[in-house]
Structure 1
Amino acid sequence: MKRVVITGAGTINALGQNVTETLAAMREGRCGIGELEMRDVDRLAVKIGAQVKGFEGEHIFNRQQMALFDRFTQFTLVAAREAMAQSGLSFSGELSAKSGVVLGNSGGGMQTLDENYRTVYEDGKNRVHPFVVPKLMNNAAASHVSMEFNLKGPSFTVASACASSNHAMAQAFQMVRSGTAPVMITGGAESMLCFGGVKAWEGLRVMSKDACRPFSANRNGMVQGEGAGVFVFEEMEHARKRGAEILAEVIGFAMSSDAADIVMPSKQGAARAISGALQDAGVNRDEVGYINAHGTGTAANDKTECSAVADVFGPHADRLMISSTKSMHGHLIGGTGAVELLACIMAVRDGVIAPTIGYEEPDPECALDVVPNEARDADVDVALSNAFAFGGLNAVLALRRI
C-alpha cells in the first residue's frame, strides 16, 4: 500500500477566497455568517447564511465559460487552481492518463435550477438555455476540473448529502493508496444559497435564525454556507522525488451507514465510522489530538456526536480537543468536509486548533473540550474529520503530521 500525502490545497468560502485568508479567519475566530443577499429574501423565514461576498465570476471566467459554469463549478475551479498552483504539478503523458478527480457535491447547480424554474414557472417562458443540463448536473465541476488540468484517469462525483466531500476524499485516498492513481484532485463544493435552496431547508425546521452555536446549550439550529475546498492527494514517494511541499499525510478513513432513520443521527453509526478510521489508520485512541466535528449546531447532532466520541475514546475523550468550524463558515452541505479538512491540516501542520465560536452555555450532553470561542496552540500528531449526513451516511478521515 502506498502512503498518501496532501501537496496542494485551495478554497473559497465565507471566511476567505483562498487558504491563507481562511486559516487566518479560523485563527481569529472570525464569523462569516451574515444577512443573506438574494432575490426575494423578504419571503424567507431564515435570512442569514455564510455567503461568499464580493465574488464575481465574470471577472475570472469568460463569457463562454460563464454559460457553462454554475456558481458551485466556479467555486470549484477557483479552489482547484489554487491547489494545483501550490502543488506545482502539471499533467501529461502517463501521469495525465492515470490521475483523476473525485469531488463531493449534494445539490448540483442549484443556482441554475432556481433561475430556470423561475423562467419556466414564474415568467411563463417555454424555452431555457441549451446548456442548462450540463450546467446544473452534479458532475459538472469534476468534469471541468478534469478538462482544465488534463486529468484522464478516474473522475466522478460523489453525492451523499453532508458527507459528500469526505466520501469523495476517501475514494481519492483509496485510489492513490492502492496504486490505481499516482495523483488525485479531490474535495467538494456547494452553492445552495438561493431562494429555493434556503426555502427547502426551512421546511426541515433545523435552521437557526440568528447564529450557529455548536455544542452550546442554547444552540438552535444550523446555518447554511457555500464555497469549495480542493486538495491534491499524491503518492508520497512521487511527491518526495519532485521535492514537493507536503502539508499532511492522509492515513485512514472509514464509512458507515446508520440503516435507521433518514434524518435523525445514530450514535452507533457515528461511532463505527470513527473507530473504523482509527483502525484503518493504525493509530491508537490516545494518539488523536483533535477532531473537527460535524458539529452542525442542532440539538440532535451535537449531543449524538459527543456521545459517539466519548464512547470511542473512553477516558482519552477528556483530553481530546473537538471543535466545529461550521460556527464560522456555516454548513456547506456537500462541500463542508472539504473546507473543514483545512482546519485539520492547520492542527497537524501549524499546531493551531480552530475554535468553536458562538459558544455561550455549557451543555452536560456535550461535555467535551470544544475549544470554545478562541483558537488554541497545541501539539497534534493525528487529527480526524467527521462528516455525518442525512440518510445516515457517515465518513471519517484521519490525517497525520509529517
Structure 2
Amino acid sequence: MAALNPGRSLLQRLRPYVAVFDLPLALIILLLLSVGLVTLYSAGLAIPGKVTDQVRNIGAAFVVMWLAANTPPQTLMRIAAPVYALAVLLLVAVALFGTIKGGSRRWITVGVQIQPSEFMKIAMPLMLAWYFQLQAGRLRWHTYAAAAALLAVPVLLIARQPDLGTALLVVAAGGAVIYLAGLAWKVLAALALAGCAALPVLWTMLHDYQRERVLTLIDPYHDPLGQGFHIIQSMIAIGSGGAGGKGWTHGTQAHLEFIPERTTDFIFAVFSEEFGLVGNLVLVTLYLLLIWRATSIALNAPTFFTRLLAGAITMIYFTYAFVNMAMVSGIVPVVGVPLPFMSYGGTALFTLGIGAGILMSISHFTRTVRHGAGGSVPAWGVTA
C-alpha cells in the first residue's frame, strides 16, 4: 500500500529495489565491462555488430543481476534443490537429444538454444550450500561423501559432452563449498595424492585433442603451424605489447587475424598487445578488487548458507580470470573459459550477472541483519 501513497515520490518508491546494489561491487564490474567494450571494439573491427550485440548482452545480464539481487537468501534456499534437479535433467537431455557443434554435444533447443552446463555453475553451489545448511552442526564424513556425489554427477555429464572448461568451473564452485564447509586438510591432501596417482589412467581417458592440448602446452613449437600456432601467436601478442602497448586499435596480431577467438576466449591477448604491461597491471588490479569485494561479502555473511554460497561465487570469479589469463599466456592448456565481464558472449555473461546479483543479495541481507535486526541471525541461518 505504501507504493500507492501519493505523498511518496517515484525515487522513494524505487529506492528499496535499488538499495540492494552493492556499490563497490557494482563499480568494479562496471569498470571491467567498460574495459571489455573498449577492447572488444578493437578486436572486432572486422566483425560488424559485435559491440552492439555485447551491449545487448550486458543489458540482459544487468536485468538478471537486478532480479537476483532482489531475491532474498531465504528464497534462494527454497529454490536450490529444484534448480539443481532441473539443471541435471537438462544435462541428461543434452546427452540424449543435444545439438552437436564442432564435435561437442553441449546445446539443447527449448524454444531457444541454451547451454545447460552454464546454469550448473550457479545451481551447483546453491545446492551444496543448501545441503550443508541442512546438515549444520552434524557434519560427518558421509556428509562430505554425499556432497561429493552431488558434485560428481553434473561434472561427469559435462565432461562427457566434452567440455572440460565448464567442468573445471563447476568443480571449482562445488569444491569451494565443500572445503569451506569444513573438509579437513588431511582429506584434501589424500585426494590430491590420489589424483596424482590416477594421472596415467586419466590420460588414457582423454580425447585425442585434449591430449594434444597438454602436449602443446609443454612444447608449442613441436607443431608451430598446426596445434601450436594459436598459442604461439597469442604469446607473441602479449610479449609484443611491451610496457605501454602498441595503442588502442593498433594491435597487429589481432587485426591481421593471427589471434584465434580474439573477441571471446583470447581477448586478453588483444588487450595485452594494445595496452601492454601497464594495462595488464590495471586489469589484474580490477580483478583483485573484484575478488577482494566478493571475499569480503563472504566473510561478513551472517549465516552458514550465505557464507558458503558467496565463497563459491568468489571462487568462480577467481577461476574464470586465472584460467583464462593463464591459458592465453601458455601456462595452462587451452580450455573454453572466457575472461569474466570482458569476453564477448551472452551465456557466460548471464551466469556472471546472476552470480553478482546473488553476492549483492547477500550483502544487502548482511546489512539488514546487522542494522535492521539488531545483529541477530535468523533461525533458518544458524551456523555450523
The TM tier, using the shorter chain, reads under 0.3
Give the number of the structure whose alpha-carbon radius of gyration is greater: 2
TM-score, normalisation: structure 2: 0.27
Larger relative contact order (C-alpha < 8 A, sep ≥ 6)?
2
Larger helix share, 1 or 2: 2
TM-score, normalisation: structure 1: 0.26
